[in-house]
Structure 1
């Protein structure tokens, strides 16, 4: 009888625990499950919030430091501005976490994009999620993007930034952030290409000097230097959210796999991922091999065609390609340009960038004719004037020994920049003089 009574009490406790769980949203329950408190056992959420140690002093220092960092990004024109894409990200973020964070946490979700070919995403204690054009371009489906965003929301929910914070390091690093911003500005000015195709978006490319603002030292000072345990914890919470909400259960594993492929491809280069920030080794296996998820290797699909996703990020694909081409990474730009052109919202710029990339990677007669066809498409799909189409045409016609066509293209190009004295137009003037002399 005593044994039966004990079993009954245990079952009653389990039942009450399950009942309490159903009273909370996914993210509230995650916070409850990961908070040490006597009240948790009784399911008293409000009392737990009241008694929780929120560490307001460090939280404020982190918020101030993050704001200073964001100001530096804006001063250096590092943000990628696309209101439609930004709104798309907000829609996804609020699908993932529709309810407010606890008032004591001082977290208000905010999404910003940066122009960087490096696939980056991180979040600050105040709720600002940063995602790079490189990350948006690396991912190939909406579910993969949602999995990555869910990871950042997991970090915020569990206050990983505040846990990882070092006040002394942050105070010391703020001056470094400002110094890095000045360094970027001076370097970008030295790289000014004048009246060229790159003017509008070249500044802000986080490659080379700009990578200082994405360095592990700077970001870890802002609370983004998670250890491996916190990284894996956020992965697992994101995986659980994806499965509970009937999203592709393999999306997070696919996204991590893409990061691993990227890291292998760029190891030893300026685009290399920081191992102590990404902890890519075993992360893929950590998700795939957990029995509770019931995933199998055959479910991984690395060659997806998500037209809806590519259409939503079409301009981002173009921008990231432009940054790659500006840094002479032509072969890397081509797959992204194919995705941009294959979407429902393509542009003349994407065709022009494809032509430039092919000119630097192909040379046969057939390739050159193909490039001319692509330049025709660039002109047809242009929403604004793209005079650089004519300089590209001229170069291809010169390859084909078609001097008259090359001359006509250069004259069109020179006419557009008649009052300009940049290196590009001075080159055009010299070529026009040479061709006129040779033809006559």
Structure 2
């Protein structure tokens, strides 16, 4: 017994001297674990606490890593070289220790030892992200809803660790991107972009929690920086973003020549061409977001393990990824399923993950995002994707969460895609429902009724409604309005006057 105590005392003294001549690479983390194998007289199954990670000034032995994990074993401090870390198994029991253990066990420390932390490159990447956000802002590509953003931010805060094992600064903040494609991107400036398409594709909070956990895994494991180092040399930043903006301007000018009859004061929709100009392979490659298939599989595994620890249904990840895959199959977008982000080799990953489970209905999630669904349906209508617009609007209607615009979008899709007495009757019934639930006067409903009446050759009824429409336009003009609203009101007055002239002639 005395010999054992004396032996441990020698170890303690030696380690104390050794670690006094070291640089700390991590804060104090105190992660529990056990030895998977026998090591230097320590038997398999012996518990320990990983205190921190240090870098020694000199290696104690030839071939031994200078980077070492400082373990507390039976009250004694022990240095374990990181190149021998496989002899132990970390057993995190909370959110922080889970993510810290992942940083320490996936060879990140060894990567930083070889590459360094690359502060200069990180600063450059953060500036790239700032440039990107500025382009998104100028192109009006952010969906602004404080309640939705706060809901998403609270969910993210329940996942992201308060303290990393490896230096990372700041807490990620969420912005919502106007895009029908289900996207989620963690930028180098700690901004997490989540698309309206992602929110409308998913149906439960656990699915969203799973996808957020995947993105946090990419963030914690520094996949973006690792990928940037692997990508080819890049053009100068000013040249690159100048070319991106040229593409956005070209896409915008093309659509400015077209006139959209569906209009909501204060709401700004964007075209698919603008979205594609700002969310594409070149940009993702430049910012290191075109993750490898191996990184994607790792993010899947880590997210499922995290959900398991947090008492969530880890199968929700399979459900979420299946719905994303179904979206692109429905769009017949085979290219998207092989590009950057969560889509890379998605079909193959789903084969390994297994069949998607049937999850319980999440009324709370559906209600919180019903406004996003309505907006997305209207934006798809704006882009003339009437089938997808109707599908989304019907999602709110079927869930009993529809607003006036949802019924209006269904009516518009029917009217755009068919012209039969039965279809026109169905269209009118949806307009009646839109009127019934409308909380404010909706000029678009009135305009669609006029068009339906003309379809049915009810000219006099259409004339009466055209006069009502003009009165509604005058009332709108008397209210506070923007210059864009004024231009739209003037254009609609002109349209109504010309239509009245033609209708009276008929």
Which TM-score bucket, shorter chain as reference? Answer: 0.7 to 0.9
Higher alpha-carbon deviation: 375-384 or 329-338: 375-384
**Partner Cα separation in structure 2 for residue 177 and residue 265 of structure 1:** 32
* TM superposition shift of 1:50: 11
Match of 1:128 in 2: 191
RMSD, aligned CA = 3.1
Q: Secondary structure at the match of 2:312?
A: coil
CA–CA separation in structure 1 for the residues paired with 2:169 and 2:134: 20
SS in 1 for 2:174: strand
1:434 is aligned to 502
Mapping of 1:252-263 within 5 angstroms?
252-263=317-328
1:96 aligns with 2:159: yes
5 Å-filtered alignment, 1:341-360, equals 341-343=397-399, 346-360=402-416
Residue in structure 2 matching 1:317, options 373, 377, 397: 373
TM-score, normalisation: structure 1: 0.83
Rate the CA distance shift 1:107–1:226 in 2: closer, same or farther, 3 A.
farther
Tell me which residue corresponds to 1:44.
none
> Is the CA contact (8 Å cut-off) linking 2:182 and 2:199 kept in structure 1?
yes
Identify the structure with the greater strand proportion.
2
SS in 2 for 1:126: coil
Match of 2:288 in 1: 223
Determine the C-alpha separation between the residues in 2 that align with 1:195 and 1:286. 47
1:139 shift after superposition: 1.1
Q: 1:373 aligns with which of 419, 425, 429?
A: 429
Counterparts in 2 of 1:137 and 1:260: CA distance versus 1, 3 Å: same
Map of 1:401 onto structure 2: 457
In the alignment, the residues of structure 2 paired with residue 186 and residue 36 of structure 1 have an alpha-carbon distance, to the nearest angstrom, of 42
Whether the aligned pair in 1 keeps the contact of 2:435 and 2:445 (CA below 8 Å) is yes
Structure-2 change in CA distance of 1:326 and 1:105 (3 Å):
same
Contact 2:141 2:177 in 1 (8 A): yes
1:301 — aligned with what? 358
Give the structure 1 partner of residue 42 of structure 2.
9
| Deviation of the 1:107 alpha carbon | 4.2
Tell me the equivalent position of 1:146: 209
2: CA distance between counterparts of 1:6 and 1:105? 34
- Contact kept in structure 2, 1:65 and 1:170, CA below 8 Å: no
Task: Confirm or deny that 1:34 pairs with 2:106.
Answer: yes
For the residue of structure 1 that corresponds to 2:329, the secondary structure is helix
Q: Which moved more, 1:396-405 or 1:153-162?
A: 396-405
Secondary structure of the residue aligned to 2:152 is: helix
Give the 3 Å change call, closer, same or farther, for CA 124–386 of structure 1 in structure 2: same
The separation in 2 between residues aligned to 1:187 and 1:412, in whole angstroms, is 36
How far apart are the structure 1 equivalents of 2:406 and 2:306? 36
Name 2:244's counterpart in structure 1.
180
TM-score (norm 2): 0.73
Q: Does 1:105 align with 2:168?
A: yes
Bigger drift between 322-331 and 161-170 goes to: 161-170
- Count of aligned pairs: 412
Deviation at 1:338, TM superposition (A): 1.7
Q: Indicate if the aligned counterparts of 1:198 and 1:326 stay in contact, CA closer than 8 A.
A: no
Structure 2 unaligned blocks of 5 or more: 1-36, 49-72, 74-87, 478-486
Say yes or no: does 1:338 pair with 2:411.
no
1:199-218 equivalence runs, <5 A: 200-205=266-271, 207-218=272-283
Unmatched tracts of structure 1, length 5 or more? 39-47, 289-296
Does the C-alpha gap of structure 1 residues 266 and 344 become closer, same or farther in structure 2, counting only changes over 3 Å?
closer
Question: What is the aligned counterpart of 2:135 among 64, 72, 78?
Answer: 72
Higher normalized contact order (CA 8 Å, seq sep 6+, divided by chain length) = 1
User: Contact between 1:417 and 1:425, CA under 8 Å: does it hold in 2?
Assistant: yes
Would the alpha carbon gap of residues 201 and 103 (structure 1) be closer, same or farther in structure 2, given more than 3 Å must change? farther
Partner of 1:392: 448
- Matched position secondary structure for 2:290: coil
Q: Offset at 1:274?
A: 5.6
Work out whether residues 122 and 129 of structure 1, in 8 Å CA contact, stay in contact via their aligned partners in 2: yes
36 and 360 in structure 1: CA distance in 2 versus 1, 3 angstrom threshold: closer
Equivalent-residue separation in structure 2 for 1:400 and 1:137 (angstroms): 36
SS of the counterpart of 2:176?
A: strand
Q: Could you say which structure has the larger radius of gyration? A: 2
Structure 1 residues 120 and 380 mapped into 2: Cα distance closer, same or farther (>3 Å)?
same
The 1:231/1:103 distance shift into structure 2, 3 A limit, reads: closer
Question: Which residue number in structure 1 is paired with residue 66 of structure 2?
Answer: none
Deviations 1:342-373 (A, max 9, x none): 45654222222221112123434333223222
Instruction: Tell me the equivalent position of 2:179.
Output: 116
